[in-house]
Amino acid sequence: MNTSDWKKESEKLWDSMATSWNSRSKGMWEDGSRKDIVPFIKKFVSPGAAICDLGCGDGVGTRKLAEAGFVVTGMDVSGEMLDKARQNSSDCDFMKGNLTDCGIEDNTFEAVMAINSIEWTESPFESLKEVARVLKPDGFACIAILGPTAAPRRNSFRRLYGEEVFCNTIMPWELEKLAGEIGWKKVGEYGVYKKAAEQLSLGSLPLELQQSLSFMWVFMFQVPKPV
């Protein structure tokens, strides 16, 4: 499948999921797996900063950022998701685009937020390059990826048969290594766990084991000035 076809099929997939996603996303952001993301971002990025929500989905997280005092632009590949986003977040700007080629000018944002979206691209590496391009020098990138225990990981199983998949599985330690190799600095991180894992003494485990048990891992990277 060429890149153009992949983007079209990805858009169709997320269009088909817009209604079901919208029925669940508010709970994720208010008291579920995503509830600590905006407070985490506020530790590094000052209110008033321009942030792009890359892969904004139905815009609930975009609205949470705006409510926290940021100037927010949401971007998504799915027109149906963006329709939901405009209904959920009337005070935010939204645009259609792809994480590997979003059409935003260079050095536009102080920060970006990409929650469970990098691994749903054709090339996570190209997506990171696009994040760096739209960020101002020394900007911040909050990136969350699904942990090994997350159920959506099943969406990538068919790759073992050589089939095209839309969940480009990437482990937390792989993202950290990839970001480090292109010069990004990790400045913060935390894990989100299922209830069974929360009963363990996670803080006593090595970092890789903590990541291995996670449902989602949230990173904050600082992207340095180009040399």
Instruction: Catalogue all structural domains in the chain, each as residue range(s) with its CATH number.
Output: 3-223 (3.40.50.150)
The Cα 169–Cα 156 span in angstroms is 6
Q: What is the mean pLDDT of residues 19-33?
A: 93
- pTM of the complete model: 0.92
Q: Around Cβ 205, how many Cβ atoms within 10 Å?
A: 13
* Residue 1 pLDDT class (50, 70, 90 cuts): low
pLDDT score recorded for residue 167: 77
State pLDDT tens for residues 90-149. 889 999 999 988 889 999 999 999 999 999 888 899 999 999 999 999 999 999 999 999
Q: How far apart are CA 7 and CA 120, in angstroms?
A: 11
pLDDT, tens only, 28-85: 999 999 999 999 999 999 999 999 999 999 999 999 999 999 999 999 999 999 999 9
176 Cβ contact list (under 8 Å, min separation 6): 186, 219
In whole angstroms, give the CA distance from residue 75 to residue 73: 7
- pLDDT, one tens digit per residue, over 168-193 is 889 999 999 999 999 999 999 999 99
- How many CB atoms lie under 10 A from the CB of residue 104? 18
Run of H or E residues at 29: helix 3-31
pLDDT at position 4 is 63
